[in-house]
Structure 1
C-alpha cells in the first residue's frame, strides 16, 4: 500500500509551492499594473502635449485667420453644394478677365497644377472670353452630354483652356465604352481652334476620375481651386462666398474652433485634409 503519510506530506508541499507561486504572480501582476498606470499617465500627458501642439501650431491659427469659413454659403443654403453647373458659374466669374483679379487667379490656379507655359502670360492682356456648357458637334447628333462645362478662348492670342467639371459623377463613355466625352471635347476643340495653344483640364471632386485622364488631358482637384483662391478671400465677396462653399464641400466632417470634442486624431485629420493641401 502507498505510504499515506508520505503522499499527504507531498500534497501539502505542493499546496505551499502553489500558494507561493500565486503570491509571486500576484506581486508581479500588481507591479505590472503599477508600471502600466504610470505609463498611462505619462502617455496621457504626452498625448495632451502633442494635441495642444497640433492645435496651437496649425489648427487655431488657420481657424482664426479664416474664421469666415464657418459661415453658411449661398450654395449651402440653396442645397446646391454638389451641382457642377453652379460651380462652373462661380469659376467662370472668378476666372473672368472682367473680374479685376480674374487673370491673376486663373494664372495662380494653372501654376498650382504645374502649367507655366509662356503663352499663359497673355492672360493679362484680358482678351479672353469664358462660357459654360459650350455646345459641340456631337450635341447635334442627339447626345445631350456633349457640352464642354467651362471654356476660355482668346481669339486674338490664339489659345483656349478647356475644363471638364466633375463633382460626384464620372467621365461618360459611348460606343461600347471606347470613346469618352473627353475624347469628343478634344476632337471638337482641335478642329474648332486649329493652330491654337490649348490646355485640357479635368477638374474633379470625385477622385475616381483620375483613372480617365489620358493623352493631352491633365487632372486637377478642388483642393487646388481652394488653395489658389484662399489668398483672395478679402478681395471679392463672391470669391469669399465660394470659398465657404468649397470648404463645406471638401471638409464637411472636419473640425473648427471651439469644438469640445477635439482630439489628436481630429487635429491631425484637419492638418492632413486641409492645411497640407493648401500649402
Structure 2
C-alpha cells in the first residue's frame, strides 16, 4: 500500500493511493496514520479493503507528512560508504545515532525555513523507516516484520550548528521544518529490495545527489535491530537512515542554501518531494 495523509497542517486525514494513482479517503476506517494504527494487525485490515470502494478525494489537497504524532525521530549519521568518503570520515564501526526533534516534521512539499543566524544549511535525501509493531531487543531476522513502511526524508541540516557549536549533532538537525517526510508511507510488500533503491536530489534543477541504498553501511533491518538494543521502538517512530554523496558540505568549496532555492528529491518507488527554502523572517 501507498498510504498518505492529506489536508491542512495539523488537520490531516488518512488516505491511500490506488493503482491508478488516485487518492482515496481512509477516514471511515482509521482516524490517522499514527501510533497503533501502524501496527501490523491494523495495516492488514487496511490492506484487505478494496481501494475502489473508498471515496475519491477531489481536487489537489496539500500532502502532509505520511505519519502523524511522531514521538521519536531517530537519525543515523555517516551511514553511506560513499558519503563517508566525501566527508573524509572513517567508516563507523557501529551506527552513529542522534535525534531530530519530532516537531520539525512537515509535509513533503511544504516550505523549509532556513533558521535565524544560519550560515551552512544543507540538504540530504534519505530513506526513512516507520516503525509498526516495534519493541525492544528485536532480532535482525525479525526486524522487517517490525516495520510499517518506508518513505522519503529530507534530513535538512545546519552544518555550523551541527559541528562547530559544541555538543551533539542534534543542534543542527531539529530546527523547525527540518524534517520533510513523504509523500507516501510505502508498506514493505511493495518494495522488492529496500537495499537497492535509487536516490537523487536536485537544487534549482541541478542534480547534486545520485546514489543508492545499496551503499548503506548498515541496512534497514540491522538498524532496527541495533537501535532496539538501546531504546524501545514504538509504533510511528521514524528512523532516517543516512544520505549518499553530493551534500553541500562535500562540495569544494562547500555549497549551502541561502534562501530562494527549490530542492527536489526522491527515492525509487517511494515518491518525490519538492521544497522552497525560505530565509528566516522572524
TM over 0.5, shorter chain:
no
Computing the radius of gyration from Cα coordinates, the structure with the larger value is 1
Q: Greater share of helix residues, 1 or 2?
A: 1
Task: Determine which structure has the larger strand proportion and give its number.
Answer: 2
Tell me the TM-score normalized by structure 1: 0.24
More relative contact order in 1 or in 2 (CA 8 Å, sep 6+)? 2
